[in-house]
Amino acid sequence: MAQCLVFEVRSQRTVLRDRNSGLGRQPAMYKERKIERHQLQDYLQVFNRHTGRLMGCLGNVSGEGLMLISELPVLVGARFDLCLKMPNGNIGQSIDLSAKCLWSHEDETPGSYDSGFELSQVSTEYLAFVQLLREYFCFYPFYEASA
């Protein structure tokens, strides 16, 4: 499965990407980090709520849905009952979701698939999770006080 280790904030979405994707193809000026990146200690895994089987890891989130990165394509048009389990620091915490797969296609990484889901109902718990990710992975400008 793709290594899902780095979140990036892009507009109103928090995006999870493989740490190694694109390296070596970027212009030299982009190879050295100018800003700190927050790195995850664990994957944010998504499970089938009824079977308990791992479906994949979280690719990105929005207030209305999510993208799943998986080893297999997902059936487009099907509804799924999902469970998003929090990593080590929050043992026992999970968020149950019901969602419809709107699209699924092969990722740039061979053997990985990206699938977009629209949530049937958006819970307060899920919205709080999305907001927490936005706050944690957002970079605020540092302003120096002028004399």
Can you name the CATH fold of 6-136? Thrombin, subunit H (2.40.10)
Name the residue ranges covered by the structural domains of the chain.
Answer: 6-136
Q: Is 6:17 a contact under the CB 8 Å cutoff? A: yes
Give the pLDDT score at 136.
75
Task: Give pLDDT tens digits for 28-87.
Answer: 444 454 444 445 556 789 999 999 999 999 988 888 999 999 999 999 999 999 999 876
Give the pLDDT score at 134.
81
pLDDT at 116 over 70: yes
The stretch 91-117 carries a mean pLDDT of 91
